[in-house]
Amino acid sequence: MEYKDKIYLDYAASTPVDQRVLGAMLPYFTDIYGNPSSIHYYGQQAENALENARDIVAKLVHANPGEIIFTSCGTESDNLALRGTAFAQRKKRNANHILISPVEHHAVLHTAHQLAEQNGFEVEYLPVDKYGMIDPSDVEAYLRSETAVVSIIYANNEIGTINPIAEIGGICQKHGVPFHTDAVQAAAHLSMDVQRDGLDLMALGAHKFYGPKGVGALFVRNGLAISPVQTGGKQESGLRGGTQNVPFIIGMSEALKITNQECEKRANTLIPMRDKIVGTILEEIPHTLLTGHPNKRLPNHASFVFEGVDGNALLMMLDMAGFACSSGSACKVGIPKPSEVLTAIGLSSNWALGSLRITLGKETTTDNVEAFLEVLPKIVEKTRSSK
């Protein structure tokens, strides 16, 4: 099958760089190439562009420019938020308790695990319902005076559920506890407002909203104590040493600006296609469950589990048929293992190992969706019969 005949349905994993974004980036590779820390003309050009990009990102998320820290990706932003805040809060007020959900991205989960195992922090996990959603009242019940940071994913990358972030933010503000959210998936489809949501820290990654890979941002509220994780120079308010990647930062700001302008229009196109996928799969494929919240989910996101199906085999067969999708199960040393997210929402291995995530993008068409729905039931049946 030719590349042009393949259909990409994995936009939650990554997106193509928008041509407008690429156009905005190109001059900063060859014409405006100075180091923004240099004091000469070339450096001043680069610094002006860098700070203009910071202003754009700040305005779009309702922050101050000095509260935006540019990083290499969403994962680095999550690491800086969790690790930097935990260390600073322990030093400042002897806070040693970290509160997260069990359905976080690995950038948060694995960072929390390391902080517990190597640095002596106590990590506690909030309960989630069958949709993977956090109840704000549970956050209030689990908070302690020694809680260093709370981290709750804004919209789940695997099952699409959107959490009640503003309510949780209000509770954390009331108790004076720093609140971080991984908004890497959410920012591609929802308006971000750190004031509305009561956030102290928020992670973004450009390649989820048609920007380049290799650049992200972290909002850090003014006055919040946070320790640098990457030391070196004094770049990024002293929190992230290293020469800034100016072309990619320009790309990120342009991509976020375009996303902010077009997200409502995109959602109006994506939601009917998403709902068509959900309705058809649940109706036509037996022993199937929708994962994530039926309504409070990302507009481009449909995810399922199929009883008695090998998710990896399903993905390979779909790929051979020309469809790129994703699964929540991971194969480690040949041993199938269900994802933490699917286990946390109560699914048994027989269900959780047969997961499928379909995520749509601005290039997806109704013809793409129809073609996918034509082949999926047959492939699921074939996968089941081969077990």
**Are 3-15+263-385 and 19-259 the same fold in CATH?**
no
Lowest mean pLDDT among 183-197, 277-291, 333-347: 333-347
pLDDT one-digit tens code per residue, 83-120: 999 999 999 999 999 999 999 999 999 999 999 999 99
Question: Is residue 263 flagged as an active site residue?
Answer: no
**Residue 331: pLDDT band by 50, 70, 90 thresholds?**
very low
Q: What is the pTM of this model?
A: 0.96
Please state which CATH number belongs to domain 3-15+263-385.
3.90.1150.10
Return contacts of 233-240, CB within 8 angstroms, 24+ apart. Answer: 233/37, 235/36, 235/37, 236/69, 236/70, 236/71, 237/66, 237/69, 239/69, 239/80, 239/84, 240/69, 240/70, 240/71, 240/80
Dist. CA 160–CA 301, nearest whole Å = 6
In CATH terms, the fold of domain 19-259 is: Aspartate Aminotransferase; domain 2 (3.40.640)
Dist. CA 146–CA 96, nearest whole Å = 6
* 379 and 317 Cβ atoms separated by less than 8 Å: yes
Q: Where are the domains of the chain?
A: 3-15+263-385, 19-259
pLDDT one-digit tens code per residue, 354-381: 999 999 999 999 999 999 999 999 999 9
Residue with tokens 């040393």: 333
Q: Report residue 357 as tokens.
A: 């995530």
* 24 and 258 Cβ atoms separated by less than 8 Å: no
- List the catalytic residue out of 172, 263, 325, 331: 331
pLDDT one-digit tens code per residue, 46-86: 999 999 999 999 999 999 999 999 999 999 999 999 999 99
Q: State what percent of residues in the chain have pLDDT above 90.
A: 94
Contacts of 332 (CB under 8 A, 6+ apart): none
C-beta atoms surrounding 340 within 10 Å: 17
